[in-house]
A and B are shown apart, each in its own frame.
Chain A
Amino acid sequence: MRRRRIAAGVVAAGLAVAGLWHLGGGAWIYAKAALAQVLLEGSWERTQRGEDKVRPWPWADTWPVARLRVPRLDVSVIVLEGASGRTLAFGPGHHQGTPLPGRPGNSLISAHRDTHFRFLKDLEPGDEIRIEGAAGTARRYRVTGAAIVDRRQARLAGGGDRPRLTLVTCYPFDAVVPGGPLRYLVFAEAAERI
């Protein structure tokens, strides 16, 4: 009887530890996403004052390149350079090799569907997106449409003369398991300068 009690206790404790570990791990992902944005404010301000490649913390391999605002949804996020998994944990990532947001051509920005780009599902054609660039420049974009594509069969084209944005996140928004092939894309085109 004693043995059984110990066994049950060990099983329960083990499960509890594993449960807390994973709960914590999940929560940490959200906390990191939110916290990083707060920490980024400082380096973004320095970037706007004209400093180049301000690393938010000494070991960072990325830096802020723009702030993305959606007035209607009260969204404001700082966009980082590069779209590696590590960068996307902290904020939306601008794909190196595509033009910087605000410049002519198609700028590609990706973020996680369950953190920074959760709001993409609420964007509607005609919505305004504001991009504040590095040296205090700003540009307004209008959402022109959205699409759901299979990443195995879709590629995004760069090029073009007008500044354009393509915001990318995973689809469906409420899937629990990450890693699916579908992507939700929102397209926006530059309106006149503010």
Chain B
Amino acid sequence: MTRLPTDNHLPPMAPRTVLRLGIGLIVGALVAVFLLLWTAVEAGVPLPGKNAVTPAKMQRGGLLFRTDEPGAFLPAPDLATEARIRINGMVARVQVVQHFLNPHDEWQEGVYVFPLPDDAAVDHVRLLVGGRVIVGEIRERQEAKRTYEKAREAGQRAALVEQERPNMFTASVANIGPGERITVEIRYHQTLRYDDGAFRLRFPLVVGPRYIPGTEPEIGLVNAVIVTAPPRVPDAERITPPIRHPSRGMANPVHMRIELNPGFEVAEITSPTHAIKTTGSAEEGFTITLDGDAVPADRDFELVWKPRPGETPVAAVFTEEEGDGTYLLMMVTPPETEGAPRDQALPREVIFIIDTSGSMAGTSMKQAKLALGMAIKRLSPRDRFNIIQFNSVTSSLFAAPKAADPSTVRRALAYTAHLRADGGTEMLPALGKALDGKKDAGRIRQVIFITDGGVGNEAELFRVVTDKLGDSRLFTIGIGSAPNGYFMREAANLGRGTFTYIGSIDEVQEKMEALFAKLERSALTDLRLTLPHGMTAEVFPQPLPDLYYGEPLVIAALVDRLEGEVVIEGRMGRTPWRTAVPLTSPRPAPGIAKVWARRKIQALSDAVHYGADRQAVRDAVTRVALTHHLISRYTSLVAVDVTPVRPENVPIAKRDVPLNLPRGWVYGTVAGEQPTGAPQPARFQTGLLRNAAYALPQTATPAQLKMLLGALALVLSGLTLWLYRRRA
């Protein structure tokens, strides 16, 4: 029998010692609780008194609801933008200069959400103020943000450029003194698009308001409470800047200067969006400026230049040596596409999706209806079709696709004529309805999506495209003055189709004809690339896309040497196609390495839509971006001036620079009803347009906590005295 150790076996303790030990323990515990509560009151818990809005702490969302006195939050910094674009061959080097002017007598922080082309490789930011130049550094995003915030609090001038979407960025500039001007210079490289015998450069000037889908409007069903899953667009707040009311006039004048060295004889240089002035020649280069001084930033700028007939390069290779290897960018134009046969072998099933949300109201809807009408008339009786429209709800012309006979076509045209734009942009159900995930070799299935892409839940939509594509092909038609280029390109890319922009009513005819050529002719498919023997290369995009009529193949690669020739093979319908491109006489061009890295980042990010591990993608993207000094979703550029300028006790006010409403948009249909009728900057309502949804506030005081803390302190005080007396 084992004996358990009991108290008897321990040396006896004096009663005094036990008492002291006990009191010591109690005091210790009380002190611990006291400290814990103290820290809770002072730091962790938001106290109502601390929530009081001071200008420096004003949250972005606060702007909308503090509108009782017009002008209460209007004095955001004024802004002017300059764009200097240099085009060499296939790559454009763009410098965007933003001048922040503070006309007020307080210190300000300006926050400006601005667009860039969705394939922009942003590698450079500089802060110019008072004759000083501060060059920005690339940092991991959170680290960059901390650096910037520290500088802001310390009164130093600082700039931070972050990526919200591949085509949407935020510039924050801290400590703009009263009456001062601070300039932020941003530089990027971009590849040009060649399609239908013309090169195109798009420079977006304004971010169209984005709809943030929320939950279904279930008002009255469950006592007005909408319980949502975690937010579908976690960064909604960051991508919905305030919009300037049109009655306040236009903000942000833009100057542009473009230097164009096309590298071939040019037939014409035009802009379908703006009046331009062109000087110079093909040999010495062209200089293009806006006709007139400056334009308001309310729509995309587009420049189009066409080579003389017969001047179109069949293949072009550009290279740049950098660090560890040779980067190359290659464009190959399949010459056969010129005479590509009309594909009559298989019947088509065409599903049109048309966006009839509030953001489409106005000229956009006219363009969309005209385009849709043209496409319907173009159908052959062998084709089957359907029309799906969506705003807050999704509906369709027919329950299932029907043959395009005269009577169904008539019904479809009448349906189109009666479409009206209003309400939210709940795109997900419409896309889910159009893509059926099926495969059927007996037909060609094409989904034609007409929209301005004014949504913030791109990631969610891309996931549906990759999940449910089947053998359908998705073609996006970007409508209006400022479509969401990232959505257009990426949806078409993942949907293995192509994208088209229609910027004005005059363009509908031409652009739709070009699209019909793509839809009705055989695509160049099953493309494969064979490298010279013994060469190793990292090639993007991977796999190679299908090419539609008029499209070239553009690839970027990192190679270990330049020799031999690259062979590209594919088939057009049943006809095989093959071409060989020699790598022996490349044209050196700066920026190719950045363009390659940008494409690698895109390829890595795309993997997420196919279910890749987010953390792994994040790490991989961060590595590439840091190596190549590029902004990405996970890396930002930050510039900090070392000398503090703002006196320590003077507060700084944070201001969002309101954006213009894109040209042709209708203010009321996107901004919803405002709490006051005053022309204040509006924010796109989260979730529901007219039935705004409200978040719940903080509704408890720390009174009990404070009183408990107080009582505890008093007890401790008494205990200290008592303990001391006993000892004495």
Using a CB–CB cutoff of 8 Å, the interface residues on chain A facing chain B are 1, 4-5, 8-9, 11-16, 18-27, 29-30, 33, 83-86, 88-89, 93, 95-98, 106, 108, 110-115, 117, 144-145, 147, 149-160, 164, 166, 168-170, 175-180, 183, 185, 187
Contacts and interface: CB of A to CB of B under 8 A. Distances in A.
Given A22-B713, A155-B693, 20 more contacts: A13-B717, A19-B710, A20-B714, A22-B706, A25-B710, A26-B709, A85-B47, A110-B697, A112-B48, A154-B225, A154-B227, A157-B693, A158-B693, A159-B217, A159-B688, A168-B697, A176-B708, A178-B47, A178-B702, A187-B224
Nearest to B725: A8
Contact of B702 (A5, A29, A145, A152): A29
A106 B692 CA distance: 11
Contacts of B691: 157-159
| 6 closest A-B pairs by CB | A19-B713, A23-B710, A85-B51, A85-B48, A22-B710, A159-B691
Contacts of A114: 700-701, 703-704
B313 interface: no
B214 interface: yes
Contact of A179 (B46, B706, B721): B46
B700 to A, nearest CB: 4
A178 B700 contact: yes
B706 A29 contact: yes
Contact of B224 (A14, A22, A24, A166): A166
B246 interface: no
Given A96-B65, A155-B226, A157-B688, A169 B699 contact: yes
Q: Most chain-A CB neighbours within 10 Å: which of B53, B228, B697, B704?
A: B697
Interface in B210-224: 214-215, 217-220, 223-224
Interface in B44-79: 44-53, 64-65, 68
Most chain A beta-carbon neighbours within 10 Å: one of B218, B703, B716? B703
Contacts of B64: 97
B699 A183 contact: yes
Contacts of B53: 84
B720 A22 contact: no
Given A13-B717, A20-B714, A85 B698 contact: yes
Nearest to B702: A178
Interface of B: 40-41, 44-53, 64-65, 68, 214-215, 217-220, 223-230, 675, 686-688, 690-718, 720-721, 723-724, 728
12 contacts: A11-B717, A14-B717, A16-B714, A18-B710, A25-B710, A83-B697, A93-B697, A112-B48, A153-B228, A158-B691, A166-B223, A178-B698
A149 B718 CA distance: 42
B699 A111 contact: yes
Contact of A27 (B45, B65, B707): B707
Nearest to B713: A19
A189 to B, nearest CB: 9
Contacts of A97: 64-65, 675, 692, 694
A157 B695 CA distance: 9
A9 B696 CA distance: 47
Given A85-B51, A153-B227, A156-B225, A26 B696 contact: no
